[in-house]
């Protein structure tokens, strides 16, 4: 073995970096091994053409825990959030539009154009989501309460671990009790489908469709499927964007956040090695003892944490016999279905929307997320295609133009447009020959056309493009199945069920091996929570 560390982190995604920083601050000698030439995982900035910078995958911040931002001194290391106001714009084919954001008066005026009742109801709806989010959020910053009565041969636990579980169980009970009389309807939000909830609250299709896109981002499910309620809630969590649920841009793109994290980690003593792919986790006497790199080098450590997906960690990096059969079966059952794609564009001018013209100067229609999903039926139909393995004929698009507030990303007068696309099913119908490599560009054209229907100058303004199909997301970021959250987020894969039931406290059946990324509780999103929680458990174990 070339060297020996206290802790090795496999993967320098933002969670790997957060985990490493806390371990180093806890006095550990830490090495991060990242297979790519840059840290950040799915939170990176790419230069797609000289002078044009995009947030390659993730593009907005809200969930980042304030504790992580504070402890890692991210502001001092160059992290800056640019707030968005308005934060949402929905152009409609009939020439109307809906703008929304942190400004209550604007929301009221805009929603009232469609329904006076909805304008009255919206602040109550938001207040309810806020109350639920405030009950749930503290549960995200610690391992989940694992009260599953699983037998010891599935997961042996010490008395201390059981006592800690009871403590967390108490906090879960308290969080649910705090929901009071709202618990029944809040339970539906946490476990049920987004559509019936929105249908009960509102009558305006434009408002419902705008809100409903948040419920299907990153999922391979229609707005009417159970589990989409939680994804809706997930998107109103966090305040890192400047206000609750108002997601913000990171100046310099998402890579600027992970570069700040890397600087903070390095300052705390963490060593980071790039282009260092781990091929195997070494195990001696049932305990993790280090890693072997793809080039053959072995490096020793007392503890190893993996920022890779559970599938990669347990099926590729560990040799088969190391894990109990029941655990391996549980890992093989994890749902990685996905239907998301990212298209990043450099454009010569701003989109000039039919319903709210203007391309010379940044207007309110350019600052927030632009929703190309005018009705609930449009959203449902978009999924119908994906259900049978076809990309949506009329895709659901979320466009963001970070250059509307961040002039560091493109030359003067030019802009960046990032398109997050649903539904682009990873698993295509068998009759689609050549798979995503064959159809990716044609589908990107369809997405550009869909946006051009609302802003006629859009297609002609495109100068450069970066197309990331679900297969590209898997290849480039090692996101199993292209799933943007390192595993889908329905209730049976959340809290004490994530990554598999009984192993939600970041530990694994191999002593000294931990999971520190989005594969673990509380799942996907740029939150730093899995990394922080995992580091605390590792420090507890010594």
Ligand X SMILES: Cc1cc2nc3c(=O)[nH]c(=O)nc-3n(C[C@H](O)[C@H](O)[C@H](O)COP(=O)(O)OP(=O)(O)OC[C@H]3O[C@@H](n4cnc5c(N)ncnc54)[C@H](O)[C@@H]3O)c2cc1C
Residues contributing to the site for ligand X (CB under 6 A): 10-16, 33-36, 41-43, 57-60, 63, 277-278, 307-308, 312, 340, 342, 473, 477-479, 484-486, 517-518, 524-526, 530
Question: How near is the Cβ of 162 to ligand X at its closest, in Å?
Answer: 28
Q: How far apart are CA 70 and CA 55, in angstroms?
A: 23
Distance, CA of 533 to CA of 527 (rounded, Å): 11
The span from the CA of 4 to the CA of 260, in Å, is 27
Q: How far is the CB of 39 from ligand X (least distance, A)?
A: 7
SS3 annotation, 198-256:
HHHHCCCHHHHHHHHHHHHCCCCCCCCCCCHHHHHHHCCCCCCCCECCECEEECCCHHH
Using DSSP's 3-state secondary structure scheme, residue 340 falls into strand
Scanning the structure block, which residue is given the tokens 């009939």?
94
Tokens of 267: 């300052």
Least CB distance to ligand X at residue 52 (A): 18
Nearest approach in angstroms of CB 475 to ligand X is 11
Q: Which is nearer to ligand X, 4 or 476 (CB)?
A: 476
* Burial bucket for residue 329 (CB in 10 Å: 0-12, 13-18, 19+): exposed
What is the CB-side half-sphere exposure of residue 209 using CA atoms within 13 A?
27
Kindly state the DSSP code that residue 59 receives in the 8-state scheme.
-
Nearer to ligand X, 172 or 305 (CB): 305
Cα separation, 424 vs 368, in Å, equals 23
- Bridge partners (DSSP) of residue 97 are 91
Q: Which is nearer to ligand X, 33 or 207 (CB)?
A: 33
Comparing CB distances to ligand X, the nearer of 304 and 356 is 304
Give CA–CA dist 344/420, Å, rounded: 9
Closer residue to ligand X (CB): 218 or 352: 218
Please report how close the Cβ of residue 40 comes to ligand X at its closest, in angstroms: 7
State in angstroms the smallest separation of the CB of 218 from ligand X: 7
For the CB of residue 390, give the shortest distance to ligand X in the complex, in Å: 20
Query: Given the complex with ligand X, which of 225 and 421 has the nearer CB atom?
Result: 421
Q: Nearer Cβ to ligand X, position 42 or 179?
A: 42
Our CB check for ligand X shows the closer of 113 and 476 to be: 476
Spacing of C-alpha 402 from chain mean position: 18
Alpha-carbon distance values, 349 to 23, 354, 360 (Å) = 46, 15, 8
Closest CA to 353 of 344, 342, 362: 362
Six token digits for residue 321:
């016999």
* Unique residue bearing structure tokens 């961040």: 406
d(CA 516, CA 20): 10
Spell out the residues 6+ positions from residue 513 whose beta carbon is closer than 8 angstroms to its own: 281, 283, 288, 303, 304, 305, 306, 507
Nearer to ligand X, 309 or 496 (CB): 309
- Residue 468 C-beta: closest distance to ligand X, Å: 7
Q: Which helix (H) or strand (E) holds 7?
A: strand 4-10
Q: How far is the CB of 487 from ligand X (least distance, A)?
A: 10
Query: DSSP readout, 305-351?
Result: EE-S-HHIIIIISS-GGGS-HHHHHHHHT------EEEEEEEESS--
For CA atoms 527, 489, 474, 464, the dihedral sign is negative
**Residue 376 near residue 205 (C-beta atoms within 8 A):** yes
What's the min distance (Å) between Cβ of 361 and ligand X? 26
Reference 169, options 134, 142, 130; nearest CA is 142
| Minimum gap (Å) between residue 507 Cβ and ligand X | 17
- Residue closer to ligand X by CB (options 304, 410) is 304
CB nearer ligand X, residue 111 or residue 310: 310
Q: Which is nearer to ligand X, 110 or 400 (CB)?
A: 400
Q: Tokens 């003593």 sit at which residue?
A: 269
For 152, counting Cβ atoms within 10 Å of its Cβ (0-12 exposed, 13-18 middle, 19+ buried), the class is exposed
C-beta closer to ligand X: residue 14 or 84: 14
Query: 179 or 397, CB closer to ligand X?
Result: 397
C-beta separation of 365 from 356 below 8 A: yes
Distance, in Å, from the CA atom of 535 to the CA atom of 515, rounded to the nearest integer, reads: 10
> What tokens does 369 get?
């997320």
Q: Could you tell me the smallest distance in angstroms from the CB atom of residue 63 to ligand X? A: 5
């Amino acid at each position: 073995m070339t060297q020996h560390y206290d802790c090795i982190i496999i993967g320098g995604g933002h969670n790997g970096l957060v985990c490493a920083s806390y371990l180093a601050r806890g006095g550990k000698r830490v090495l991060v091994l990242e297979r790519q030439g840059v840290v950040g995982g799915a939170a990176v900035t790419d230069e797609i053409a000289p002078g044009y910078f995009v947030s390659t995958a993730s593009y907005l911040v809200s969930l980042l825990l304030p504790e992580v931002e504070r402890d890692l001194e991210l502001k001092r290391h160059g992290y800056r959030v640019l707030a968005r106001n308005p934060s949402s714009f929905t152009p409609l084919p009939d020439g109307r539009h809906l703008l929304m954001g942190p400004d209550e008066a604007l929301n009221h005026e805009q929603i009232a154009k469609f329904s006076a009742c909805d304008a009255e109801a919206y602040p109550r709806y938001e207040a309810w989501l806020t109350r639920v989010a405030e009950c749930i959020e503290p549960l995200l910053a610690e391992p989940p309460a694992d009260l599953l009565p699983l037998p010891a041969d599935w997961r042996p636990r010490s008395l201390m671990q059981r006592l800690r579980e009871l403590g967390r169980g108490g906090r879960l009970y308290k969080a649910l009790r705090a929901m009071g009389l709202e618990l029944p309807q809040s339970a539906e939000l946490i476990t049920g489908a987004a559509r019936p909830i929105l249908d009960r609250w509102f009558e305006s299709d434009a408002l419902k469709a705008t809100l409903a896109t948040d419920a299907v981002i990153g999922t391979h499910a229609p707005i009417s499927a159970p589990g989409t309620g939680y994804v809706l809630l997930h998107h109103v969590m966090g305040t890192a964007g400047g206000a609750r649920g108002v997601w913000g841009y990171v100046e310099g793109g998402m890579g600027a956040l992970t570069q700040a994290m890397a600087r903070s980690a390095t300052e705390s003593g963490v060593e980071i090695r790039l282009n260092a792919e781990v091929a195997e986790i070494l195990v001696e006497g049932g305990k993790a003892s280090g890693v072997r790199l793809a080039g053959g080098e072995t490096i020793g450590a007392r503890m190893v944490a993996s920022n890779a997906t559970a599938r990669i960690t347990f099926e590729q990096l560990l040799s088969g016999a190391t894990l109990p059969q029941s655990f391996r079966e549980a890992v093989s059952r994890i749902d990685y279905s996905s239907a998301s794609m990212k298209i990043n564009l450099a454009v010569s001018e701003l989109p000039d929307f039919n319903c709210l013209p203007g391309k010379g100067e940044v207007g309110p229609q350019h600052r927030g997320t632009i929703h190309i999903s005018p009705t609930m039926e449009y959203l449902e139909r978009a999924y119908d295609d994906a259900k049978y393995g076809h990309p949506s004929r009329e895709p659901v698009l979320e466009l963001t133009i970070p250059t509307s507030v961040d002039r560091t990303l493109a030359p003067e007068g030019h802009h960046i447009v990032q398109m997050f696309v649903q539904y682009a099913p990873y698993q295509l119908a068998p009759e689609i020959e050549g798979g995503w490599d064959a159809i990716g560009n044609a589908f990107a054209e369809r997405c550009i056309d869909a946006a051009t229907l609302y802003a006629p100058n859009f297609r002609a303004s495109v100068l450069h493009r970066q197309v990331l199909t679900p297969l590209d997301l898997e290849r480039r970021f090692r996101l199993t199945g292209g799933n943007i959250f390192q595993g889908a987020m329905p209730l049976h894969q959340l809290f004490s069920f994530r990554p598999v039931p009984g192993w939600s406290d970041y530990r694994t059946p191999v002593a000294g091996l931990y999971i520190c990324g989005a594969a673990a509780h509380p799942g996907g999103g740029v939150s730093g929570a899995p990394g922080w929680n995992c580091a605390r458990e590792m420090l507890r174990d010594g």
